[in-house]
Structure 1
């Protein structure tokens, strides 16, 4: 079962699993898209019907910039929905439960982000719900014998992303002949992961052994780049791009974060990102160029 199956990462994951011959039941977090994770009756009915062997829980309010003016809805979906799914999984004998967590659990932290030593200090309600979700998932695993794992996935980019993405902004504006006006400074850093790599990390968890049980694992690309460096890559590919930067941090996500430590992803999952930023931006630009050309 994949919740959030109609979302950005969910669509790519469902396509990948079905191509591999896996039977997938997909659902989003909203009413009307098969079932609503915040409704325990719907959740239990669906689990009783399909008896999923594994759950990949992507169905959440995604990102600190989403529903910022409605914080209770973030708590309701991200914590309440996760609890409903875990309880249904417990009752129906689900083997493995994977939660898509986030780099937002670390908050603003300029040092290396290490799952084993970095203290979690989320600076947003969204980040706090991801911390709570990780603890719920691990506790259900310890108490009730579920095989559980949480992936702290960094900013994902690539074809199909609908929420704000600075990379998509640069490319779309260049294709449309517009100036990209950025509200924050060119020295603000981000560590992205291409959507195909993010999907592959999830598949690694689904096929891993008991060594992943109860673990939280960083998932990201290897390059921590300033936004100005990303702009330089896009400019090389699309010379017509024109970008104007402001000053200071990103008003939508002002966490200043250091590089991800990715040792546990390699050791526990055998996962390393395969798509460099340059290659990923080129793929994304080609996709958006085709869409622009109709």
Structure 2
């Protein structure tokens, strides 16, 4: 991995992954793309290209022009947004995936795109969900992710594309606020704790979902891309996770720093139903064994980092 093209670079993952990869490989070797030019942050006034991943000719032209040895495809609609606009979600999530996979095949590039716990469904075992198990999701986002995993296997077996992926849990960060996912409460709760001292959760108490702090997610992607291909038997997506938590646990962690913090509930039926269709916890043994997957952040360490980062961000914006 020496020359990297990134799609969806202004999203939650891409914003921080681009910066980290440029620190490792140099700004000139990492080209971020999205539907708009960044107007703030560390990518402002740096090399950046406009790219619509649903435009197959534009994707191929950009790929052949930049000549990457790695394509990281992040452009997608997330779960809650996808459920409100299923046709648009299919066009973006599946069209973009096919176009970038074809580009990777054409230039012989290594390929990464994230899957999700959303690829599981109500019939999937809830606790310690196995690496290989039934995947019958009840959402358009989940259908996209399962189809995507199958396509990664297909492009690896049929064309020899070096496909790699992980099933990300909810990702928590403060640099880029969330963009329409079911796990967004776990980001929003920290912002509202700092701003207002209270938060109204759209996910009900006792609803456990896997989560991961963004720094661990970024390191996870880089570690997998750098892993020896001969040691990887999973080409669709590895289970990865750092913690299984519910809103009450996050609130208790926040109260260690903001004792007066108050958590309320106004449950969103659609997002609650999506959350209840997902696993409570994942078995990550295959990722640990095949490429030494590990996480640095537990809930309390993540809470401390989130609260301090949000305060610093707010002070800088004043």
Q: TM-score, normalised by structure 2?
A: 0.85
User: Which residue is equivalent to 2:71?
Assistant: 55
Mapping 1:147-162, distance limit 5 Å: 147-159=162-174, 160-162=176-178
Q: What secondary structure does 1:251 align onto?
A: helix
CA offsets 1:126-159 (integer angstroms, 9 cap, x no match): 1100111111121011111111112111100012
**Once structures 1 and 2 are overlaid, which stretch shifts more, 193-202 or 243-252?**
243-252
User: Which residue is equivalent to 2:40?
Assistant: none
User: Which residue is equivalent to 1:106?
Assistant: 120
Aligned residues of 2:53 and 2:92 also touching (Cα < 8 A) = yes
**1:123 to 1:90, Cα distance in 2 relative to 1, 3 A:** same
Deviation at 1:253, TM superposition (A): 3.2
Deviation at 1:247, TM superposition (A): 6.4
Deviation at 1:70, TM superposition (A): 1.5
Aligned residues of 2:209 and 2:246 also touching (Cα < 8 A) = yes
**1:6 to 1:246, Cα distance in 2 relative to 1, 3 A:** closer
**1:292 to 1:50, Cα distance in 2 relative to 1, 3 A:** closer
**1:73 to 1:241, Cα distance in 2 relative to 1, 3 A:** same
Deviation at 1:206, TM superposition (A): 1.4
Q: What secondary structure does 1:59 align onto?
A: coil
Task: State the alpha-carbon separation in 1 of the partners of residues 70 and 54 from structure 2.
Answer: 19
Is the aligned partner of 1:219 residue 2:240? yes
User: Which residue is equivalent to 1:177?
Assistant: 196
Mapping 1:124-139, distance limit 5 Å: 124-139=139-154
Aligned length in residues: 289
User: Which residue is equivalent to 2:43?
Assistant: none
User: Which residue is equivalent to 1:258?
Assistant: 280
Aligned residues of 1:51 and 1:93 also touching (Cα < 8 A) = no
Task: State the alpha-carbon separation in 2 of the partners of residues 129 and 158 from structure 1.
Answer: 24
Mapping 1:184-203, distance limit 5 Å: 184-203=203-222
Q: Which runs of 5+ in 1 are unaligned?
A: none
User: Which residue is equivalent to 1:285?
Assistant: 307
**1:81 to 1:246, Cα distance in 2 relative to 1, 3 A:** closer
Q: TM-score, normalised by structure 1?
A: 0.91
User: Which residue is equivalent to 1:81?
Assistant: 96
**1:107 to 1:49, Cα distance in 2 relative to 1, 3 A:** same
**1:195 to 1:50, Cα distance in 2 relative to 1, 3 A:** same
Task: State the alpha-carbon separation in 1 of the partners of residues 267 and 89 from structure 2.
Answer: 29
How much is the aligned-residue C-alpha RMSD, in angstroms? 2.0
Mapping 1:13-52, distance limit 5 Å: 13-22=17-26, 23-28=29-34, 30=35, 34-52=50-68
Q: Which runs of 5+ in 2 are unaligned?
A: 38-48
Aligned residues of 2:185 and 2:203 also touching (Cα < 8 A) = no
Aligned residues of 1:5 and 1:58 also touching (Cα < 8 A) = yes
Aligned residues of 1:102 and 1:151 also touching (Cα < 8 A) = yes
**1:31 to 1:285, Cα distance in 2 relative to 1, 3 A:** closer
Deviation at 1:78, TM superposition (A): 0.9
Task: State the alpha-carbon separation in 2 of the partners of residues 182 and 84 from structure 1.
Answer: 37
Q: What secondary structure does 1:237 align onto?
A: coil
Task: State the alpha-carbon separation in 1 of the partners of residues 308 and 36 from structure 2.
Answer: 34
**1:209 to 1:228, Cα distance in 2 relative to 1, 3 A:** same
**Once structures 1 and 2 are overlaid, which stretch shifts more, 223-232 or 167-176?**
167-176
Deviation at 1:246, TM superposition (A): 4.9
Deviation at 1:169, TM superposition (A): 2.8
